[in-house]
């Protein structure tokens, strides 16, 4: 199958040009932010600055941009053009820009070659999104949580955000979240000699299976195992993604398949919809059933999208820890009414040989497992609906921002809407940090805003085991945690812990939201960031007993270490197959816009 119809319908010249131009603007903006390029200013007119990026004596890129706070830039993608050998031409190839910048940025040819592949995959996805059913932002604010995810355009900061190395075009059409194709998960039986089941207290394997599988499926699967001469009570049944089975499990676990330790059972009845992370699936047959997180060993953004064994094993314990805090703390439970969808159960399968290798590539240690996370729908009350933070950055085909439609629907002024937003989002995040030395990574996928009447109402935070980190300080609130627990979650010094909110939320999400509001004359950026500062001070004034921790985790200091995501792949880490997942690169400092609102002297509260 050559997909001639799909190619002709989606990969068209005009859309290809538009997608490239938009990506070029993003590349220039983010490479400037990460100090990988330093174009010259050639003119300034009010807020608009014209830049000249010299590639060689005969080739220059020219473009206009506006400076933003946090050392950021809003590059106007429609203004970029090239002058080469004295002739002006359109800048309409993101790949050409990447190749032009190879020497300037210091990319190896190996890295640049792989990155061309990732950028092309990203562009293919972008043109598909341009051809996607043109629902307006006014329509999308009524869209269901799981379906809304399929309209998102990917990570706002990472330029190769839909690289998905490992997917063929057939896989893209079948499994990419923006395709919004429901699928039935395959199930396998794994012998208990090579697998382990973990769960929160009170949830047994049989209870979980009774909730997740129909009786018809369970009987069918047990019969399959029995027909092969094995005892089904000696196996764990678990879902596996079709791509992972075909591309990883058969090739890496053939011995276990031959010995009958892994048995393919067939597809379950329920239908699922993939979410932005690609490896998380929302049950569409029964919304109250768990969301399922499965390894898919494709390389997307910075990492292979597997399930690390050590984190899969400890996921239910992390859930017990996080939810225990939420249940016992009156501010979180009664005032914030924060939602914490737990990772209630997991199955992990160790590979018998890769696990014995010293410094084995991490991708081979996270190929087979499952995590069951509570459904967000089970927490929603009458009149509530949920959206990920990522949705707030969406702009429709007519360039109308999703957030503009939301604010119009709410009947509030933008400033009042953002005040509510910051209170809803910041109060629980700050309380976990200051009171418990515990922080989430509140980026666009993990953070869910629950709306009521189109207004921010309360917060849900997910993905505990991958993204919860704890303080290395001697806090009594953390004294009961085991060494193993602290090792898996990672302990961080004060700035490192603060960075999860500073970079994960402020840099990775809010600076883009602020720019959208500024560009659409809804709220200027100084007012935006002042509202965020006010929300932090409002929280602090309510908890004066934590003042020493406010100083320890200081969101108002003049600078933070600049964490870089594009630089990580392009310069520092490349495409090496190391034993650890790559982390954001550190390069220089970023001026903290919140320091503009620091209170010079603060009387005791």
Distance CA(237)–CA(206), nearest Å, equals: 10
Last residue of a domain, one of 327, 354, 373: 373
Half-sphere exposure of residue 274, counting CA atoms within 13 Å on the CB side? 25
Contact 420, 412 (CB under 8 A): yes
CA-CA distances (angstroms) from residue 564 to 24, 273, 568, 572, 587?
18, 31, 6, 10, 7
How does pLDDT run across 196-250, given as a tens digit for each residue? 999 999 999 999 999 999 999 999 999 999 999 999 999 999 999 999 999 999 9
How does pLDDT run across 271-286, given as a tens digit for each residue? 999 999 899 999 999 9
Structural domain count, the chain: 3
pLDDT at residue 439 above 70? yes
State the pLDDT at residue 464: 86
Whether the CA torsion 486, 492, 494, 498 is positive or negative: it is: negative
Do 321 and 463 lie in a common domain?
no
pLDDT at residue 319 above 60? yes
State the pLDDT at residue 40: 98
State the pLDDT at residue 134: 82
Mean pLDDT over each residue of the chain, to the nearest integer: 95
Do 305 and 337 lie in a common domain?
yes
Domain annotation covers residue 473: yes
pLDDT > 70 fraction of the chain, expressed in percent and rounded: 99
The model's pTM: 0.95
Domain annotation covers residue 311: yes
pLDDT at residue 605 above 70? no
Domain annotation covers residue 131: no
Domain annotation covers residue 283: yes
- Report residue 274 as tokens: 């993939």
How does pLDDT run across 73-118, given as a tens digit for each residue? 999 999 999 999 999 999 999 999 999 999 999 999 999 999 999 9
How does pLDDT run across 333-376, given as a tens digit for each residue? 999 999 999 999 999 999 999 999 999 999 999 999 999 999 99
State the pLDDT at residue 372: 98
Do 102 and 177 lie in a common domain?
no
Averaged pLDDT for residues 303-308: 94
Last residue of a domain, one of 64, 91, 106: 106
Averaged pLDDT for residues 21-43: 98
What value, to the nearest 5°, has the Cα angle with vertex 203 and ends 200 and 206? 140
Domain holding 72, by residue range, is: 4-106
State the pLDDT at residue 580: 85
Do 460 and 397 lie in a common domain?
yes
Helices (H), 508-595: 511-519, 525-542, 547-552, 566-567
> 435 in the Ramachandran plot: left (φ > 0), alpha (ψ -120 to 50) or beta?
alpha
How does pLDDT run across 541-586, given as a tens digit for each residue? 999 999 999 999 999 999 999 999 999 999 999 998 888 888 899 9
Question: pLDDT grade, residue 603 (50/70/90)?
Answer: very low
pLDDT at residue 378 above 50? yes
Distance CA(492)–CA(488), nearest Å, equals: 12
């Amino acid at each position: 199958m050559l997909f001639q119809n799909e190619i002709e319908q989606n990969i068209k010249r005009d859309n290809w040009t538009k997608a490239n131009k938009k990506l070029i603007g993003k590349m220039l903006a983010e490479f400037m932010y990460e100090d990988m390029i330093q174009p010259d200013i050639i003119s300034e007119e009010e807020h608009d600055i014209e830049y000249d990026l010299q590639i060689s004596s005969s080739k220059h890129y020219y473009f206009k941009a506006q400076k933003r706070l946090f050392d950021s830039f809003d590059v106007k993608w429609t203004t970029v053009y090239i002058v080469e050998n004295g002739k002006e031409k359109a800048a309409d190839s993101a790949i050409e820009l990447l190749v032009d910048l190879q020497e300037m940025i210091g990319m190896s040819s190996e890295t640049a070659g792989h990155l061309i592949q990732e950028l092309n995959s990203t562009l293919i996805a972008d043109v598909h999104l341009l051809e996607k059913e043109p629902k307006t932002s006014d329509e999308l604010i009524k869209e269901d949580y799981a379906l809304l995810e399929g309209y998102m355009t990917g990570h706002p900061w990472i330029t190769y955000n839909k690289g998905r190395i490992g997917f063929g075009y057939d896989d893209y059409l079948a499994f990419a979240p923006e395709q919004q194709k429901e699928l039935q998960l395959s199930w396998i039986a794994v012998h208990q000699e090579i697998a382990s089941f973990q769960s929160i207290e009170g949830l047994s394997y049989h209870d979980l299976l009774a909730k997740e599988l129909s009786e018809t499926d369970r009987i069918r699967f047990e019969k399959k195992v029995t027909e092969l001469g094995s005892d089904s009570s000696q196996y764990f049944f678990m879902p596996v993604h079709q791509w992972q089975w075909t591309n990883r499990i058969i090739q890496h676990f053939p011995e276990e398949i031959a010995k009958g330790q892994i048995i393919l059972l067939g597809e379950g009845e329920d239908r699922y919809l993939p979410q932005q992370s690609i490896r998380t699936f929302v049950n569409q047959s029964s919304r109250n059933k768990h969301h399922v997180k499965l390894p898919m060993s494709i390389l997307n953004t910075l990492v292979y999208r597997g399930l690390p064994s050590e984190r899969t094993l400890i996921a239910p314990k992390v859930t017990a820890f996080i939810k225990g805090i939420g249940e016992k703390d009156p501010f979180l439970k009664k005032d914030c009414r924060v939602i914490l969808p737990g990772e209630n159960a997991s199955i992990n399968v160790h590979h018998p040989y890769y696990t014995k290798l010293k410094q084995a590539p991490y991708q081979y240690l996270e190929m087979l497992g499952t995590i069951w996370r509570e459904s967000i729908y089970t927490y929603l009350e009458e009149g509530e609906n949920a959206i990920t933070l990522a949705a707030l950055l969406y702009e429709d085909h007519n360039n109308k921002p999703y957030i503009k439609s939301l604010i119009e629907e709410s009947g509030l002024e933008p400033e009042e809407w953002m005040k509510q937003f910051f209170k809803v989002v910041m109060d629980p995040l700050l309380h976990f940090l200051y009171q418990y030395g515990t922080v989430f990574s509140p980026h666009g996928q993990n953070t869910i805003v629950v709306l009521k009447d189109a207004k921010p109402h309360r917060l849900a935070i997910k993905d505990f085991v991958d993204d919860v980190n704890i303080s290395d300080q001697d806090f009594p609130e953390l004294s009961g945690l085991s060494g193993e627990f602290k090792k898996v979650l990672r302990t961080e010094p004060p700035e490192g812990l603060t960075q999860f909110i500073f970079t994960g939320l402020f840099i990775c999400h809010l600076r883009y939201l602020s720019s959208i509001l500024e560009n659409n004359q809804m709220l200027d950026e100084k007012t935006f960031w002042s509202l965020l500062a006010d929300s932090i001070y409002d929280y602090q004034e309510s908890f004066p007993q934590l003042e020493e921790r406010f100083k320890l985790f200081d969101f108002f200091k003049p600078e933070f270490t600049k964490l870089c995501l594009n630089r990580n792949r392009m310069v520092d880490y490349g495409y090496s197959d190391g034993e650890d997942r790559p982390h954001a690169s550190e390069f220089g400092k970023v001026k903290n816009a919140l320091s503009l609102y620091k209170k010079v002297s603060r009387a005791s509260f």
